């Protein structure tokens, strides 16, 4: 309960600050955010879109870690944790896609133009959509968990080719890509001002906490479901 | 006297080349059964001919840019692979020979045997498609043969690496036919983008060094996927 309240309050403050603090070309007060060349007011997306993409990666990583644990021990609870995290990862990935697409409309002029970044996030959506399709196609609980875990691991090892290698090799318009005059992007190079950095990391922490809270709720709900179906949470080690 | 088989010989021996030998045995078995039924080969040749004629009808004699041709070439190879390669493990399940194979060979040998069979299948498939392409599409001119050959070989190995392990996964699922391209496409997309780019370069007559970054991506992709598949194959294969 307190957990939930803290996350709600934290994120509310972050969202208000990210939307309301003025962006000026020469910051004088502590609350003035600096102007980033080429982004201007559109830089505000950094406080929402980047944390969403970050949570997506965290969620898929958590999903894969519990997938590996499931393969090692075959405890039903690990599969539940893995699939719950993958579902949330899909949700945050979708939100990052939508926010990025809206931003692209105002920055690049169209909602979707197959920029390498757009291709890579589309692919991430496809991979996890396929993951859920696979889960519906297997009836046996243990087999389903095993095959889904194997697929998520194989998918995860190919993801770096998209997220980290391709957008930096192929010219792209996304901040931080190859050919960007600002280098690897405003965040990666820590070129943003201290107050912007504080707000950004506050948002990152807030979104990460939101993810872990949502995840724990889903896992608790699924535990009830396991008990209803008389499936033991742990059978292995 | 000895009607009871000697089970000691069935056990996996620790000789240095036993793994290699049983891999070769799985490969040989797959070739033998393919040569007897010619299921995959016949279906695939017909698939390629059908797709090629659809492409030719769609073009209607118009000249098409090299970008479109490179993309179409890999669309044909991708879907031909999708229709042929799923057989490798599904056929074992259908004939009920999965158990026997599980008893007689190590999972690693089964994986590499099947991978080898798929690599050969895709390579010959690509060869057939490329020959048909060269004959029927006048715009399709390869100017850098070194890039083109390397693309076909690396692309086929990469395609086989990912589709072999996905074939093993879908053999255990219910809706096999539709599931296979759905699961394979997102995993194969990094590879497809790289091979399409390299094919385009070969048609434009670029020097070999120009396509190096694509080949590095293709090679590392195959190595990563084959390693992960080999490590995870036990979990898929064992019932």
In DSSP terms, which residues pair with A24 in a beta bridge? A34
In DSSP terms, which residues pair with A33 in a beta bridge? A23
A contact test, residue of B190, B201, B213, B225 with most A CBs within 10 A: B190
Three-class secondary structure of residue A15 per DSSP:
helix
**Chain B hits for A154, Cβ within 8 Å:** 162, 165-166, 187, 225, 228-229, 232
Would you call A119 and B221 a contact, using CB atoms and an 8 Å cutoff? no
Per-residue model confidence as pLDDT tens digits over A89-130:
999 999 999 999 998 888 888 888 888 778 888 888 998 899
**Chain A hits for B169, Cβ within 8 Å:** 134, 147, 150-151
Cα-Cα end-to-end distance for chain B: 35
B3 vs A225, more confident: A225
pLDDT (0 to 100) of residue B162? 92
Would you call A154 and B182 a contact, using CB atoms and an 8 Å cutoff? no
Mean pLDDT, chain A, rounded, equals 83
* A186-200, A202-216, B65-79, B111-125: range with lowest mean pLDDT: A186-200
**How many Å lie between the alpha carbon of A146 and the closest alpha carbon of chain B?**
7
Would you call A71 and B225 a contact, using CB atoms and an 8 Å cutoff? no
pLDDT (0 to 100) of residue B219? 92
What is the gyration radius of the CA atoms in chain B, in angstroms?
20
A contact test, residue of B187, B198, B210, B224 with most A CBs within 10 A: B187
pLDDT (0 to 100) of residue A205? 92
- Can you tell me the mean pLDDT for A19-32? 74
CA-closest candidate to residue A61, choices A93, A84, A86, A81 = A86
CB pairs under 8 A between A and B: 79
Q: For residues A37 and B38, give the distance between their C-alpha atoms in angstroms, rounded to a whole number.
A: 63
Would you call B173 and A150 a contact, using CB atoms and an 8 Å cutoff? no
Q: For residues A56 and A96, give the distance between their C-alpha atoms in angstroms, rounded to a whole number.
A: 8
CA-closest candidate to residue B220, choices A4, A226, A160, A76 = A160
Q: Does B229 touch chain A (CB under 8 A)?
A: yes
Q: For residues B221 and B205, give the distance between their C-alpha atoms in angstroms, rounded to a whole number.
A: 25
Q: For residues A191 and A181, give the distance between their C-alpha atoms in angstroms, rounded to a whole number.
A: 13
Domain ranges of chain A: 2-228
- Please count the residues of chain B: 239
Q: For residues B170 and A130, give the distance between their C-alpha atoms in angstroms, rounded to a whole number.
A: 12
Percent of chain A scored above 70 by pLDDT? 83
B contact test, residue of A123, A147, A153, A172 with most B CBs within 10 A: A147
Q: Is B185 left (phi over 0), alpha (psi -120 to 50) or beta?
A: alpha
Q: How many Cα neighbours within 13 Å face the side chain of A138?
A: 22
Would you call B236 and A133 a contact, using CB atoms and an 8 Å cutoff? no
**How many Å lie between the alpha carbon of B35 and the closest alpha carbon of chain A?**
31
Identify the band that residue A170 occupies on the pLDDT scale cut at 50, 70 and 90.
low
pLDDT (0 to 100) of residue B10? 47
pTM: 0.83
Q: For residues B195 and B218, give the distance between their C-alpha atoms in angstroms, rounded to a whole number.
A: 8
* A39-48, A147-156, B115-124: range with lowest mean pLDDT: A39-48
Residues 6+ apart with CB under 8 A from A130: A151, A155, B182, B183, B185, B186
pLDDT (0 to 100) of residue A237? 60
Q: Does B151 touch chain A (CB under 8 A)?
A: no
Question: By CA distance, what is A132's nearest residue in B?
Answer: B183
pLDDT (0 to 100) of residue A186? 54
**How many Å lie between the alpha carbon of A177 and the closest alpha carbon of chain B?**
16
Per-residue model confidence as pLDDT tens digits over B98-121:
888 888 888 889 999 999 999 999
Would you call A134 and B179 a contact, using CB atoms and an 8 Å cutoff? yes
B contact test, residue of A124, A134, A169 with most B CBs within 10 A: A134
**How many Å lie between the alpha carbon of B86 and the closest alpha carbon of chain A?**
15
**Chain B hits for A133, Cβ within 8 Å:** 179, 182-183
Phi/psi for A24 (5° steps) reads -125, 160
A 10 A CB-CB count for A233 gives: 13
Per-residue model confidence as pLDDT tens digits over A122-133:
888 998 899 999
Question: By CA distance, what is A126's nearest residue in B?
Answer: B186
Show the DSSP H helices in B86-144 as ranges.
87-95, 98-104, 107-136
**How many Å lie between the alpha carbon of A188 and the closest alpha carbon of chain B?**
24
Tokens of B77: 């190879």
**How many Å lie between the alpha carbon of A114 and the closest alpha carbon of chain B?**
12
Each residue's pLDDT, cut to its tens digit, for chain B (239 residues) gives 444 544 444 445 556 678 888 889 889 988 898 888 887 788 889 999 999 999 888 887 778 888 888 889 999 999 998 888 888 888 888 888 888 888 888 888 999 999 999 999 999 999 999 999 889 888 888 888 899 999 999 999 999 999 999 999 998 887 777 888 889 998 998 899 889 989 988 988 888 888 888 898 899 999 999 999 999 998 998 87
Q: How many Cα neighbours within 13 Å face the side chain of B21?
A: 8
């Amino acid at each position: 309960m307190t957990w939930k309240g803290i996350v709600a309050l934290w994120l509310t403050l972050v969202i208000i600050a990210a939307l309301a603090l003025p962006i000026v070309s020469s910051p004088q007060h502590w609350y003035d955010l600096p102007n980033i060349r080429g982004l201007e007011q559109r830089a505000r997306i950094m406080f929402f879109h980047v944390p969403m993409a970050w949570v997506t990666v965290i969620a898929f990583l958590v999903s894969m870690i519990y997938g590996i644990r499931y393969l090692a021990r075959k405890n039903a609870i690990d599969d539940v944790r893995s699939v719950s995290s993958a579902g949330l990862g899909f949700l945050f990935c979708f939100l990052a896609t939508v926010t990025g697409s809206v931003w692209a409309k105002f920055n690049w002029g169209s909602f979707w133009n197959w920029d390498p970044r757009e291709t890579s996030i589309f692919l991430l959506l496809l991979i996890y959509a396929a993951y859920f399709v696979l889960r519906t196609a297997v009836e046996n609980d243990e087999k389903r968990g095993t095959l889904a875990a194997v697929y998520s691991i194989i998918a995860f090892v190919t993801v770096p080719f998209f997220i980290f290698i391709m957008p930096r090799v192929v010219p792209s318009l996304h901040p931080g890509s190859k050919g960007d005059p600002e280098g690897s992007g405003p965040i990666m190079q820590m070129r943003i001002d201290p107050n912007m950095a504080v707000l950004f990391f506050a948002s990152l922490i807030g979104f990460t906490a939101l993810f872990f809270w949502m995840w724990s709720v889903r896992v608790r709900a699924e535990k009830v479901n396991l008990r209803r179906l008389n499936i033991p949470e742990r059978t292995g080690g | 006297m000895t009607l009871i088989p000697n089970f000691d010989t069935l056990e996996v021996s620790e000789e240095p080349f036993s793994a290699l030998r049983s891999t070769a045995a799985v490969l040989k078995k797959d070739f033998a059964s393919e040569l007897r039924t010619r299921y995959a080969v016949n279906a695939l040749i017909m698939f390629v001919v059908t797709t090629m004629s659809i492409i030719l009808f769609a073009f209607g004699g118009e000249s098409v840019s090299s970008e479109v041709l490179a993309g179409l070439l890999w669309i044909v190879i991708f879907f031909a692979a999708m229709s042929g390669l799923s057989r490798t493990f599904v056929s074992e399940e259908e004939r009920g020979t999965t158990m026997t194979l599980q008893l007689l060979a190590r999972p690693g040998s089964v994986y590499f045997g099947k991978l080898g069979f798929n690599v050969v299948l895709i390579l010959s498939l690509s060869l057939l498609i490329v020959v048909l392409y060269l004959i029927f599409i006048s715009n399709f001119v390869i100017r850098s043969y070194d890039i083109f050959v390397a693309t076909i070989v690396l692309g086929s190995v990469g395609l086989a690496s990912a589709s072999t392990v996905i074939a093993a996964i879908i053999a255990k699922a219910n809706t096999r036919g539709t599931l296979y391209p759905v699961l394979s496409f997102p995993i194969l997309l990094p590879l497809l983008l790289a091979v399409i780019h390299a094919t385009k370069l070969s048609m434009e007559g670029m020097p070999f060094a120009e396509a190096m970054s694509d080949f590095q991506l293709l090679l590392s992709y195959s190595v990563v996927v084959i390693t992960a598949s080999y490590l995870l194959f036990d979990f898929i294969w064992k019932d």
